[in-house]
Structure 1
Amino acid sequence: MTTATRTAFAAALLLAATALPTSAAAATGDTTHVDGRLPSGATYLMDVPARWNGTVLLFSHGYTSGPANPAQDAPDDATKALLLQRGYALVGSSYATTGWAVTDAVPDQLATLTAFTDRFGTASRTIAWGRSYGGLVTTAIAERHPERIDGSLSLCGLVHGGVANWNNTLDPVFALKTLLAPDSGVPLVNVGSQSAADAAAGALSAVVDSAQATAKGRARIALAAALHNIPVWNQPTQPRPAPADRDAQQANQYEAVKGLLKVAAFNRRQESEARAGGNMSWNTGVDYARLLGASSVRKEVTELYEKAGLSLRTDLGTLDRAPRIGADPQAVAWMAATSSFTGELTKPQLSVHTVGDALVPVQTESALKRAVTAAGSASLLRQAYTDNAGHCTFSPAEQLAALHTLEDRLTKGRWEGTDAASLNSRAAKADPTTPTRYVPYRPTPYLRPYDLAHPADGR
């Protein structure tokens, strides 16, 4: 982290610690509910059961586009109810701003924790947890403020960090534009405004829709999907395709590609570029043939190209010869300092992912493990996987099982029961009414890793 960033974080935390938050409390049954506002303008929630077990769970919510910006202190209502029944205190804030708000989210969450302690006393145990973008916030807290927590739990988190995320988001849209609309003029970076982002997303989406009508177009969409490791089953509403049904697999990926264009590739990029002060991603020097070779769905791409009578080698050559995109060094520096990780854990972390996530592919877990291993913290990390499609589609049972497994590590000082069978057994006991789908799984490598444990990354 740069000196300027450390100073900004310290200033935000000092303000939060010295200015008094405002709050209002109400007792509902056996739970005290508190709504409050921090000096930053962020709001917070606290729910504390009458028979508090001494553990406070600090929940970091996912990416919020706005204008609505509610505080959250649990991932969903069903899980929240089960946790309160078991005596956990639940806290969590909104963030002072929406979007890629990590520089607000971390101090706001820590200020919320301080407000909780001031009101209810010191917890015997504090666990930071979060889903999706909140997994990035949680991991930032775990690395930069370990003295405030005892352990952390990331669910479907962006644990690969910000630079890696935006590099890998660039690759599929670069392939789509280069192979399907090379003369379209669609800006892939330096988008400028939300209206420009909407226009770019709409233009490239129309190209993809047209391409989906032909065998050659479908093969090229599959290639773009492979560069993001988009799985062939990525929504619970989709039929799970047979292993050899390449057409059904590609149809599922097509829907995910459309979602990527609508949400992350342009709109969220524009907001993040505005924060970073420029384009924070690049593909200079990237070998797309090598990336495809490491993709989890490379066989599907190869077979679809053969079926379409299209040369995969020729298209990869076209990608190699296409003008590349360079990054703004200052924007990369900002994103790296605020949103990338060293891998240096000092407290235990459990990271859990669904295997069928298209928005934050399961391969992000490989990127996290790479960083943590390089930093010498591998003994503190465990990872687990559920056999389901979609982003953050965990059942309450699965989430409670992950939490209880982390608690056991904190109590015993060693990891136990992190295998799929043990997690499923624990999940079934925690909530027999919802699914238990943990499976043995090892994700393929993340295609564009970037972390602060490897100084040569991207340089």
Structure 2
Amino acid sequence: MRIRLALLTACLSLAATALPARAAASGTHLEGRLASGAAYVMDVPASWNGTVLLYSHGYTPAGAPNPAQNTPGPAVRDRLLAEGYALIGSSYASTGWAIAEAVPDQLATLDLFTDTFGAPERSLAWGTSYGGFVTTMLAERHADRLDGSLSMCGLVQGGVANWNSTLDPVFALRTLLAPDSGVRLASFTDQAEAVAAAKSLTSKVDAAQRTSEGRARIALAAALHHIPGYNDASQTRPGPTDWAAQQANQYAAVRGLLHLPAFSWRQEAESRAGGNPSWNSGVDYTAMLARSPLYKEVTELYKEAGLSLRTDLSALARAPRVSADPAALRWMRSTSVLSGRLTDPQLNIHTTGDALIPVQSESAYRRAATAAGSAGLLRLAYVDGPGHCTFTAGETLAALRTVEHRLDTGRWDVSPGALNRRAVAEDPAAEPRYVRYRPAAYPRPHDLAHPGDARP
């Protein structure tokens, strides 16, 4: 249903344009481009129930195909359309760290929907991954346009905290595995330099994985990013004290972090910010590790390897630190930091085994919302499963129904039992996995608008 309109781009004016709508007994499917150049897609059932769902999609790497999306997947889309929901969303005008384009493009999509189909009775924003960040930005800064929101596996720690937290593990890996390599961790000249740095550090990590000492140090780096020991559905779930299996699973995730987010994606974000927005000056890695739920694993692997953890932590403390470029940090703070100030209800859901956006990001946003006085409007729920955004259709729909229940009744009902009953009702064939869970504190100083902000 999502057809890219690249061949038509040159024909479109600066105003929002559309292909002729495909009308049928089942409803209307509409595609086109906004004035910004972003593509949009809308599906409106013939018997529209008055609710529009504005979907924000996840991160699209620079240069990758960028179609408009209006749902997380076809099963969810088909179920919602059959029930009368209108589904809309845009591609955002650019790929990469496109928050400055994503928010206005999503608002423009909502405006166009209203102009075309009439004002909705209820407007809900929802999104996955980076789109959960976009959704929360919409909820905080444009609450007048929405009635509620759902952030799924969202990057709700915000941009400054995200890039800070991706710096920590690579700093540890370079310091402990390649101290004389000169591998650059930030302030890249171009994408080629970032890719070369990623390849260089990855080769050191691959070599280290073949020794017990190297595996212990990789586990330490993973702990600084809160990478769980079970983070992919293809992995066998390790036992609670199977440190070797947990570390092997983390190694795979560390390689993924090096491959794209920590270097290639960082360089793209730096190109927008005009420099490096991250720092680790003043960060106490000994204290950070002590607070990590992975502390026991790290200490046991160091013991097995015959290494001194104290010595390695001292090496991290002595190593030259990375400083942020003030102008780049100002840009990231102005465009990409969440405040926690909500006006309407928001539900956040997250898988417990997420290595890309660790579940601890929810702790950061809970803290911000509490400090901003919005705690009563925010609820968090957790799915016991590995991977990033690996919710079943039933779990996704259960979360959406929960937001609607809150709007209908004025009361939250986010117990695992209630969410699992809703998930079973939506998808009887899948075992629901909502559980009681409280993530650890976010692993390092972050930059949300609440008392106790850390500053570089």
TM-score scaled by structure 1? 0.95
Question: Which runs of 5 or more residues in structure 1 are unaligned?
Answer: 1-17
Q: In the aligned structure 2, how far is the partner of 1:56 from the partner of 1:145?
A: 16
What pairs with 1:62-101 in structure 2 (closer than 5 Å)? 62-65=58-61, 66-101=63-98
Q: In the aligned structure 2, how far is the partner of 1:28 from the partner of 1:191?
A: 51
Shift of the 455–293 alpha-carbon distance from structure 1 to 2, 3 Å rule, reads closer
1:50 is aligned, of 16, 36, 46, to 46
**DSSP 3-state at the match of 2:21:** strand
Other-structure match for 1:445: 441
Question: Which runs of 5 or more residues in structure 2 are unaligned?
Answer: 1-13
Q: In the aligned structure 2, how far is the partner of 1:195 from the partner of 1:180?
A: 22
**DSSP 3-state at the match of 2:349:** strand
Is the aligned partner of 1:148 residue 2:145? yes
- C-alpha offsets along residues 52-72 of structure 1, whole Å, 9 cap, x if unaligned? 111100000011013311100
Residue 453 of structure 1 and its aligned partner are, at CA, apart by: 2.3
1:339 is aligned, of 329, 336, 355, to 336
Q: In the aligned structure 2, how far is the partner of 1:284 from the partner of 1:380?
A: 35
Q: In the aligned structure 2, how far is the partner of 1:434 from the partner of 1:96?
A: 36
- C-alpha offsets along residues 343-375 of structure 1, whole Å, 9 cap, x if unaligned? 110010000000000000000000000100000
**DSSP 3-state at the match of 1:443:** coil
2:30 is aligned, of 20, 30, 34, to 34
Q: In the aligned structure 1, how far is the partner of 2:241 from the partner of 2:356?
A: 24
Other-structure match for 1:238: 235
Residue 455 of structure 1 and its aligned partner are, at CA, apart by: 6.5
Is the aligned partner of 1:285 residue 2:282? yes
Q: In the aligned structure 2, how far is the partner of 1:290 from the partner of 1:434?
A: 41
1:179 is aligned, of 176, 181, 184, to 176
Residues 420, 432 of structure 2: 8 Å contact kept: yes
Shift of the 37–304 alpha-carbon distance from structure 1 to 2, 3 Å rule, reads same
Other-structure match for 1:6: none
Residues 188, 266 of structure 1: 8 Å contact kept: yes
Q: In the aligned structure 2, how far is the partner of 1:161 from the partner of 1:310?
A: 36
What pairs with 1:341-356 in structure 2 (closer than 5 Å)? 341-356=338-353
What pairs with 1:20-419 in structure 2 (closer than 5 Å)? 20-65=16-61, 66-415=63-412, 417-419=413-415
1:428 is aligned, of 417, 424, 428, to 424
Q: Letter of the 2:67 partner, please give it.
A: P
Shift of the 267–48 alpha-carbon distance from structure 1 to 2, 3 Å rule, reads same
- C-alpha offsets along residues 5-56 of structure 1, whole Å, 9 cap, x if unaligned? xxxxxxxxxxxxx944334311355131100110100000001111111110
Residues 395, 435 of structure 1: 8 Å contact kept: no
Q: In the aligned structure 2, how far is the partner of 1:138 from the partner of 1:71?
A: 15
TM-score scaled by structure 2? 0.95
Q: In the aligned structure 2, how far is the partner of 1:23 from the partner of 1:192?
A: 41
Q: In the aligned structure 2, how far is the partner of 1:316 from the partner of 1:177?
A: 13
Count the aligned residue pairs: 441
Residues 18, 30 of structure 2: 8 Å contact kept: no
Residues 57, 128 of structure 2: 8 Å contact kept: yes
**DSSP 3-state at the match of 1:388:** strand
Other-structure match for 1:15: none
- C-alpha offsets along residues 87-118 of structure 1, whole Å, 9 cap, x if unaligned? 11100000111000001000000000011011
Q: Letter of the 2:116 partner, please give it.
A: R
Q: In the aligned structure 2, how far is the partner of 1:136 from the partner of 1:335?
A: 14
Q: Which range is displaced more, 260-269 or 434-443?
A: 434-443
- C-alpha offsets along residues 264-294 of structure 1, whole Å, 9 cap, x if unaligned? 0000000000001100000000000000011
Q: Letter of the 2:44 partner, please give it.
A: V
Residues 16, 33 of structure 2: 8 Å contact kept: no
Residue 447 of structure 1 and its aligned partner are, at CA, apart by: 1.1
- Report % sequence identity: 61
